[in-house]
């Protein structure tokens, strides 16, 4: 059976034809598992559309991975560095407006993407502007001019790319899909050319070592598709990304506030252990404290692996889902070292990639020869005037840290101290006086991220955009299970705050369509 409804006005969008898989007449509440950005977004949009929802969140605060922690006068940010959608012309900006996420706070944007320092005193400030970037790259690597031109050309073409906000692809009519296909037709040659080579394959074509090192430092992970480099340059050149003053805390709390004002409720410190299923329909959730919360629909915005294989015992899977969870790569787990320094470093670049003369060993297998340092001054609203925060993030093996924390707490602490000491030693050489003025230091390991957010293998952004996964649609429903949806970074390859929030919006749109409702949005 299908439902079709007519055209609406204002912020309403025409609801497409969708199979009616749920009891549209059931007025029961929708339970959302997880109060990260995906869950909060889904909750906001469902509330905007007249649904009664409740978010059940294991932690004590909203935001999930989008979080921060206070140490004395310093707020150490565990997430936000750059947010896509800070320019009013972009589709993501519209979404952040609807969610009240930026709430008038200042956006810090930078002319440079990062400063890369080489082993022999070479430096390169990588401009966000593609014309300037092209000039700088050719200046240091004239022998790679042809490759630089190709890269810049591809990035320039992708700079206007916007996600479809009107409807997720699954809800589009054939006509809408064809229209979208035509709109993005020009992308096909770019995808064909850039998707399949991994970064090392692509970068091997460059003759200049320092440029190769720079491009890898910019992309951050060598298992990714070369297309990621193109997209990253495309997003950065259009000045549509920046740091929102107040950081992750202010950002998450703003959306959580919007959700509550829209009439939603959040049950904190409550872990969902299983999803109740009757006759292949989700009917509620069972919490660790024994409570059973009935629901007309369940949306899981918690970790994908836990949802599918633990909360639902792996009963609703197909080849596509098994392929994802058995064969696809994840963003790695991270160690984050945060330092609070009682001194302003006004000349420090906001993002610096430093070579390490002595490799930094962060677990039983991983050694780093570069380190990326983020610097936040008082303009970030994370520390007072005259003070600085520096953070260093280092990919590390999750299992090493979770095992150590569980089985040998003393060694776990000793390993953490050793890494902090080494980071301070390196940074004190680069920023003389840092160690002397250091007031606070802190380290979060992959075990910390797992403990606080439950993300599978400590992944900080879900699926890594490798050639294997790019271009695949990750389903937000499970085969054979009605009344159930997923949102958050586990249903979007490439993760990140905009993707998590957009997937929450898409889930709300899908539920509206299912129930024959016009999807409506509003702004605070």
Task: List interacting residues with ligand FAD (CB under 6 A).
Answer: 33-39, 56-59, 64-66, 78-83, 271-272, 301-303, 306, 334, 336, 393, 453-455, 460-461, 488-489, 495-498, 500
395 vs 483, beta carbon nearer ligand FAD = 395
CB of 466 to ligand FAD, least distance (A): 17
Residues whose CB falls within 8 Å of the CB of residue 192, separated by 6 or more in sequence, listed in order: none
144 vs 303, beta carbon nearer ligand FAD = 303
Residue 484's CB is within 10 A of a number of other CB atoms, namely 25
Is 480:280 a contact under the CB 8 Å cutoff?
A: yes
Tell which residue, 437, 445, 248, has the closest CA to residue 337.
445
CB of 489 to ligand FAD, least distance (A): 4
CB of 124 to ligand FAD, least distance (A): 22
Angle between helices 226-237 and 145-158 (to 10 degrees): 60
CB of 368 to ligand FAD, least distance (A): 16
In angstroms, rounded to a whole number, what is the distance separating the alpha carbons of residues 215 and 151? 11
CB of 488 to ligand FAD, least distance (A): 3
Residue 397's CB is within 10 A of a number of other CB atoms, namely 18
Which single residue is written with the structure tokens 């329909």? 281
CB of 65 to ligand FAD, least distance (A): 4
Handedness of CA 66, 349, 354, 201 (dihedral sign): positive
387 vs 489, beta carbon nearer ligand FAD = 489
210 vs 251, beta carbon nearer ligand FAD = 251
16 vs 494, beta carbon nearer ligand FAD = 494
CB of 224 to ligand FAD, least distance (A): 15
Can you list the positions of beta strands (E) in 30-162?
30-33, 53-56, 68-71, 74-77, 83-84, 107-108, 112-117, 123-127
CB of 394 to ligand FAD, least distance (A): 11
216 vs 337, beta carbon nearer ligand FAD = 337
CB of 374 to ligand FAD, least distance (A): 9
CA dihedral 336, 248, 460, 126 (to 10 degrees): -80
78 vs 377, beta carbon nearer ligand FAD = 78
Which single residue is written with the structure tokens 């802190």? 442
CB of 268 to ligand FAD, least distance (A): 9
68 vs 427, beta carbon nearer ligand FAD = 68
16 vs 43, beta carbon nearer ligand FAD = 43
Residue 149's CB is within 10 A of a number of other CB atoms, namely 13
Query: What is the distance of C-alpha 77 from the center of its chain?
Result: 14
236 vs 393, beta carbon nearer ligand FAD = 393
83 vs 152, beta carbon nearer ligand FAD = 83
Which single residue is written with the structure tokens 């889902």? 321
Determine phi and psi for 374, rounding to 5 degrees. -105, 135
* Dihedral class, residue 64 (left if φ above 0, else alpha if ψ from -120 to 50, else beta): left
CB of 333 to ligand FAD, least distance (A): 9
In angstroms, rounded to a whole number, what is the distance separating the alpha carbons of residues 516 and 68? 40
Token representation of residue 5? 């409804």
Nearest residue (beta carbon) to ligand FAD: 36
Token representation of residue 379? 């303009």
The CA–CA distances, whole Å, from 401 to 370, 406, 460, 518 equal 21, 8, 15, 47
């Amino acid at each position: 059976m299908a439902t079709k409804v007519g055209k609406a006005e204002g912020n309403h969008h025409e609801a497409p034809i969708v199979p009616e898989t749920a009891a549209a007449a059931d007025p029961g509440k929708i339970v959302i598992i997880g109060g990260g950005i995906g869950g909060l977004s889904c909750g906001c949009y469902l509330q905007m559309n007249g649904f009664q929802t409740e978010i059940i969140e294991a932690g004590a605060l909203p935001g999930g991975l989008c979080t921060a922690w206070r140490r004395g006068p310093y707020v150490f940010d565990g997430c936000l560095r750059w947010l896509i959608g800070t320019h009013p012309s972009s589709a993501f900006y519209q979404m952040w407006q609807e969610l009240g996420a930026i709430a008038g706070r200042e956006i810090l944007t930078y002319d440079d993407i990062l400063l890369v320092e080489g082993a022999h005193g070479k430096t390169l400030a990588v401009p966000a502007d593609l014309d300037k970037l092209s000039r700088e790259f050719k200046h240091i690597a004239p022998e790679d001019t042809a490759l630089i031109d190709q890269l810049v050309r591809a990035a320039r073409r992708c700079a206007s790319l916007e996600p479809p906000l009107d409807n997720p692809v699954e809800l589009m009519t054939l006509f809408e899909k064809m229209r979208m296909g035509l709109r993005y037709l020009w992308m096909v040659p770019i995808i064909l050319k850039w998707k399949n080579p991994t970064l090392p394959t692509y970068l091997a074509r460059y003759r200049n070592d320092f440029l190769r090192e720079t491009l890898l430092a910019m992309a951050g992970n060598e298992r990714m598709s070369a297309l990621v480099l193109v997209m990253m340059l495309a997003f950065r050149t259009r000045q549509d990304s920046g740091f929102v003053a107040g950081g992750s805390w202010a950002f998450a709390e703003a959306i959580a506030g919007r959700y509550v004002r829209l009439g939603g409720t959040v049950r904190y410190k409550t872990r969902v252990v299983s999803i109740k299923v009757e006759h292949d329909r989700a009917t509620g959730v069972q919490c660790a404290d024994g409570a059973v919360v009935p629901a007309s629909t369940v949306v899981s915005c918690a970790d994908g692996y836990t949802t599918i294989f633990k909360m639902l015992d792996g009963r609703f899977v197909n080849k596509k889902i098994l392929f994802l969870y058995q064969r696809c790569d994840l963003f790695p787990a991270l160690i984050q070292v945060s330092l609070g320094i009682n001194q302003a470093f006004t000349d420090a670049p906001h993002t610096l990639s430093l070579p390490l003369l002595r490799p930094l060993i962060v677990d039983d297998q991983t050694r780093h020869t570069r380190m990326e340092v983020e610097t936040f001054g008082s303009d970030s609203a994370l520390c007072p005037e005259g003070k600085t925060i520096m953070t260093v993030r280092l990919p590390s093996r999750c299992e090493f840290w979770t095992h150590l924390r569980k089985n040998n707490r003393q060694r776990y602490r000793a390993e953490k101290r050793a890494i902090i000491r080494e980071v301070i030693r390196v940074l004190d050489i680069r920023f003389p006086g840092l160690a002397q003025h250091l007031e606070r230091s802190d380290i979060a390991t992959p075990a910390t991220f797992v403990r606080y957010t439950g993300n599978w293998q400590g992944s900080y952004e879900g699926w890594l955009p490798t050639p294997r996964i790019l271009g695949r649609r990750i389903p937000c429903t499970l085969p054979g299970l009605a009344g159930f949806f997923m949102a958050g970074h586990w249903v979007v390859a490439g993760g990140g705050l905009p993707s998590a929030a957009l997937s929450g919006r898409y889930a709300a749109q899908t539920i509206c369509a299912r129930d024959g409702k016009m999807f409506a949005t509003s702004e605070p």
